[in-house]
């Protein structure tokens, strides 16, 4: 970090040489210089409003760092939102106690895996993978009826999206791959929670990639040089900007509904395997990869949260750890300097390739002791050691959120 100073407000401050300042809630948490350089590149964009905020889970991404909050006036950066548009978390508290769960949780995990398509092993036909529906259930079709008209309007303006749009219903209510997961957890009082992590699946990916390329085309067309080609932007008022805002808003709605549809099936699997129960309290359903119009420091701006959760005063959010670590239900404090945001998780300390080279299968099994989950080579890149210490991450953002509940998983289904 160049010219960075620790403040008494809980963040590290850096005045960049040729751009907006950076405020980073990273005290006590390691941050690679590559991530800092990405933050500086973003801060150099001429339309950044006030400063760029970095959360304690910040790490290197594509174009913009994962774990950053980017307020902009007059433009948006599609790659900063990313291709997993609307990715986020959902959690539900049940009336079940730990004592209600069976000693052997293998059957519960198998029932969840049967109920919710996950992964992406190629299946029959070019347009379907194993992690999607062959015949979507009636509940998914019902959800889709509220989404289809919006997608039809998007495709009418962007015909290249027609093929992924035709498959979108097959991905609604499915988990996906990578770090997406479904968990059964216990809180401090041994109350059972269901929690999951997913986004807008294949259609969100297609929308993101399409508009990222359009933004790059615009940069080439107008001879605009950027510190990173993935920071290509769309200017407010242009046709591409209007199309993108509509498309990304729809994808965020798809992601929200996707989590609801999955959660309904997870709760059904829990009832079938354990016993009937009630849902207690309100479900938490929040994005952490998205863009919204908000007012900050007296101005209406576009706020892109790439791996960050909105944490206005009283907002409930979810900050997961890893396959072997605690997760947290939090309430926002409405910190203005952070643009009312907090971290979206622990954040990776190494790439997936590095994790596979670093950790053995025995390392992974030791790190996930007590958790009913996959313990094979296919999930080594998601092993807990590939992530930052969630306790250090939480300690770095005490000025952003209060902890409401602490959860520890006992079952984990990975994409």
- What residues act catalytically? 344
Instruction: Say how far apart CA 230 and CA 336 lie, in whole Å.
Output: 28
Spatial contact of 351 and 331, defined as CB atoms under 8 Å apart: no
Instruction: Tell me the pairing of strands 327-332 and 316-319.
Output: antiparallel
3-state secondary structure the chain: CCCEEECCCCCEEECCCCCCCEEECCCCCCCCHHHHHHHHHHHCCCCECCCEEEEEEEECCCCCCEEEEEEECCEECHHHHCCCCCCEEEEEEEEEEHHHCCCCCHHHHHHHHHHCCCCCCECCCCCCECCCCCCCCHHHHHHHHCCHHHHHHHHHHCHHHHHHHHHHHHHCCCCCCCCCEEEEEECCCCEEEEEEEECCHHHHHHHHHHHHHHHHHHHHHCCCCCCCHHHCCEECCCHHHHHHHHHHHHHHHHHHHHHHHHHHHHHHHHHHHCCCCCEEEEEEEEECEEEEEEEECCEEEEEEEECEEECCCCCEEEECCCCCCCEEEEEECCCHHHCCEEECCCCECCCHHHHHHHCCHHHHHHHCCCCECCCCHHHHHHCHHHECCHHHHHHCCCCCEEEEEEEEEEEEEEC
Which string of b and e fits 19-45 if b means at least 16 CB within 10 Å? bbebbbbbeebebeeebbebbbbbbbb
Token pair for 278:
């009630």
Residue for token digits 């239900």? 329
Spatial contact of 75 and 234, defined as CB atoms under 8 Å apart: yes
Residue 293: other Cβ atoms inside 10 A: 10
Longest pairwise C-alpha distance within the chain: 65
């Amino acid at each position: 970090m160049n010219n960075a100073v620790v403040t008494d407000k809980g963040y590290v401050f850096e005045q960049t040489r040729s751009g907006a300042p950076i405020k980073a809630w990273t005290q006590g948490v390691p941050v690679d210089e590559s991530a800092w350089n990405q933050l500086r590149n973003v801060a150099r964009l001429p339309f950044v409003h006030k400063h760029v905020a970095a959360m304690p889970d910040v790490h290197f991404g594509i174009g913009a760092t994962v774990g950053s909050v980017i307020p902009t006036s007059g433009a948006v950066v599609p790659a900063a939102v990313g291709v997993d548009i609307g990715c986020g978390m959902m959690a539900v508290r049940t009336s079940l106690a730990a004592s209600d769960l069976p000693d052997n949780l293998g059957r519960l995990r198998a029932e969840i895996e049967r109920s919710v398509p996950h992964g992406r092993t190629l299946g029959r036909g070019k347009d379907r993978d194993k992690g999607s529906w062959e015949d979507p259930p009636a509940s998914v079709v019902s959800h889709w009826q509220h989404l289809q008209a919006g997608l039809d309007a998007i495709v009418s303006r962007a015909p290249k999206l027609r093929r992924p749009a035709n498959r979108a219903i097959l991905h609604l209510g499915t988990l996906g791959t990578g770090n997406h997961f479904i968990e059964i957890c216990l809180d401090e009082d041994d109350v059972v929670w269901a929690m999951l992590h997913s986004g807008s699946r294949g259609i969100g990916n297609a929308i993101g990639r399409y508009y990222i390329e359009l933004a790059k085309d615009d940069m080439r067309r107008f001879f605009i040089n950027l510190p990173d080609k993935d920071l290509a932007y769309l200017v407010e008022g242009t046709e591409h900007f209007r199309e993108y805002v509509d498309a990304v808003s729809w994808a965020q709605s798809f992601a929200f509904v996707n989590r609801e549809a999955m959660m309904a099936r997870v709760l059904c699997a829990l009832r079938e395997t354990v016993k009937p129960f009630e849902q207690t309290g309100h479900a938490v359903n929040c994005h952490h990869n998205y863009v919204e119009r908000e007012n900050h420091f007296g101005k209406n701006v576009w706020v892109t949260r790439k791996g960050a959760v909105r944490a206005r005063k009283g907002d409930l959010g979810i900050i997961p750890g890893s396959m072997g670590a605690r997760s947290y239900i939090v309430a926002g404090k409405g910190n203005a300097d952070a643009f009312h945001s907090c971290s979206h998780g622990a954040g990776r300390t190494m790439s997936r390739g590095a994790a596979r080279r670093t950790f053995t299968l025995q390392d992974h099994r030791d790190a996930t002791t007590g958790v009913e989950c996959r313990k094979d080579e296919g999930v080594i890149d998601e092993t807990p050691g590939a992530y930052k210490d969630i306790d250090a991450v939480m300690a770095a953002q005490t000025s952003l959120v209060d902890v409401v509940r602490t959860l520890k998983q006992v079952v984990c289904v990975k994409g």
